[in-house]
Chains A and B, each alone.
Chain A
Amino acid sequence: MAIVDRPSRTVVQRRWSLWRAMVWPRREAAPRRTARVPWIPIVIISVIVIMAVFAPLLAPHSPIDQTLRDKLLPPAWMLGGKDKYFLGTDAFGRDILSRLIYGARVSLIVALLALTVGGGVGLAIGIVAGYVGGAVDSILMRLVDAAFTFPAILFALLLAVTMGQGLGTLVIAISLLLWATFARVIRGEVLALRQRDFVALAKVRGCSSLRIMLTHILPNVLNTFMVLVTLNIGVVIIAEATLSFLGAGIPPPTPTWGLMISEGRGRIAEAWWVALIPGIAITLLVLSVNLFGDWLRDRLDPRLRQL
């Protein structure tokens, strides 16, 4: 039976059309099912983004300067806590809240760069593999399969050891994690697009392959690309935190959430807040980004639900 109903959900329609019109002006058909707009995740994401952007203005203390006299103070609401350190201090007397705010910066910068590099490479490979086809396609897809088999984290660790820790190494390492997913999905889209009339028409008009890929294929996979980007922000944030935790991220003293957990876990018995608070921040951010990504996918490209 072709007619299948889905469990009904509250319909909130067109409330965000302005926002949508700004970001994806060319989307025409409205999706069949409109899920509720995830307001709570949007608020959480906004707060964290604002924290990251205005870190120097918002942070009450320096994230790096040590005040050993005030070390391992609990959060302000607990016995022994001081009002000036709202979330307490770590073993070097650094303010946790300030480090958290600056840590958001690192997470988001790394996410932005890695998604641009890794996603961009994946996008390019996906388009070329899907459009050119043949041997190029099968070689590229073999590479993708290989990338899926081997955990990219291993290569990321190797890079950190050979190239040294730093933003560049981290971005390359996380890009290695991303490109294959992007390439595989985008290729699938391109395979379908290749059959469409406007591509045939462009060929008849004598457009070069490069031109067709750039002017006809690329704009049509951008929606999918954006959905993939949102769905992978969480992956990148976790990867960055994991690499930092393992001593392969941005080197100290720059505060990163992963590093904060790593530094705090040894003192979990006496000062739980040092390790647990950054983890709550990561979980909240990743949860929000994932929920937002799910919603965006359902709205823009429900076929990607398999991911």
Chain B
Amino acid sequence: MSDTPPGDTVLEVRDLHTHFFLRRGVVKAVDGVSFSLKRGEVLGLVGESGCGKSLTALSLMRLLPKGGARTIKGEVLLGGENILQHTPAEMREIRGRRISMVLQDPQTSLNPVFSVGDQLREAIERRRKGASLSEIMKEAVAALRRVEIAAPEQRIGQYPHQMSGGMKQRVVGAIAISGEPEVLIADEPTTALDVTIQLQYLKLLKRLQAENGMAILFITHDFGVVGRMCDRVAVMYAGRIVECGPVKQIFEAPQHPYTRALIASVPKMTGPAGRLTTIEGQPPSLMDLPVGCRFASRCALVEQRCLDAYPRSVRVGDAHTADCWKVSPP
């Protein structure tokens, strides 16, 4: 599948299927997702809300929401081991230490009744078993400093409600990376932040990544952020990745009609102020997916074969694939 040397790939996801089994039917929220992540790489996972991005992330962490969500098929290879087959105890060993995650809303992702220091300490303790409390607290202060929190010695004793959203999200970041994971999943980490703070946070993530060489799976709905953060990008639509490739190639020559439409809908900072386009129609219900291309109902170039069968994956360039009948290999 991947043409990079295996030693270089830290995370590989193959044909992942995570469905919600409800009484009303089966919601195929993640339905055949494959991608790989190399050491030190930032892969953007882009798509509209509800396309299965977050559930993909939670499937990788094996922290599916309660009530009917199950990963029924596929492999998640972390350093070559399929973590979907790990026991819960083995999985706990991996979480935080090898694969970690930053959640979307900083207002709710910290526990309101424990101090920031307490919550950070719990994460550090796992890596530094047997270390004394003062050592760990010293490290906690260092961790806060690393995420650019001013006066970390004072902040460490504070509670989440005493901090701003941006600061809380930095703390969440510090907690997530304190186990020095190989893979960090960032699920829309800046969506809930002010625009000015968003940029700072992205820069911080970039810097942290450069420092310890972790791979980041960056989930977002914002193509603008992708260009700033990512090396490669995977575009997700209705439970599947429809196009995947290096950021530059995707921006310059998007192949899938959905990707093109998404990029066209991003306001441009430079050049003439053209009309902003939106994509007509609604994505198909994840409970009742069409047999053919899932974008067919909204695609301007739709043909009969698009409705008849799901398109094969076409390699359009170096590490660049697109699932579309209308795309031909170069």
Contacts and interface: CB of A to CB of B under 8 A. Distances in A.
Interface residues of B, number: 14
B68 A5 contact: yes
A3 B20 contact: yes
Contacts of B23: 5, 8
Nearest to B65: A1
Judged by DSSP, the binding face of A is loop
Contacts of B272: none
Contacts of B68: 5
B209 interface: no
Judged by DSSP, the binding face of B is mixed
Interface string A1-29: 10111101000000000000000000000
A147 to B, nearest CB: 30
B136 interface: no
A61 B21 CA distance: 60
Contacts of A1: 54-55, 58, 65, 69
B275 interface: no
Interface in B18-68: 20-23, 27, 29, 54-55, 58, 65-68
Nearest to B22: A5
Contacts of A4: 65-67
A179 B116 CA distance: 43
Contacts of B54: 1
Nearest to B64: A1
A214 B54 CA distance: 47
B23 to A, nearest CB: 6
Interface in B48-94: 54-55, 58, 65-69
Contacts of A3: 20, 22, 27, 29, 65, 67, 69
- A-B pairs with lowest CB-CB distance, top 5: A5-B67, A1-B65, A5-B68, A4-B67, A5-B22
Interface of B: 20-23, 27, 29, 54-55, 58, 65-69
22 contacts: A1-B54, A1-B55, A1-B58, A1-B65, A1-B69, A3-B20, A3-B22, A3-B27, A3-B29, A3-B67, A3-B69, A4-B65, A4-B66, A4-B67, A5-B20, A5-B21, A5-B22, A5-B23, A5-B67, A5-B68, A6-B67, A8-B23
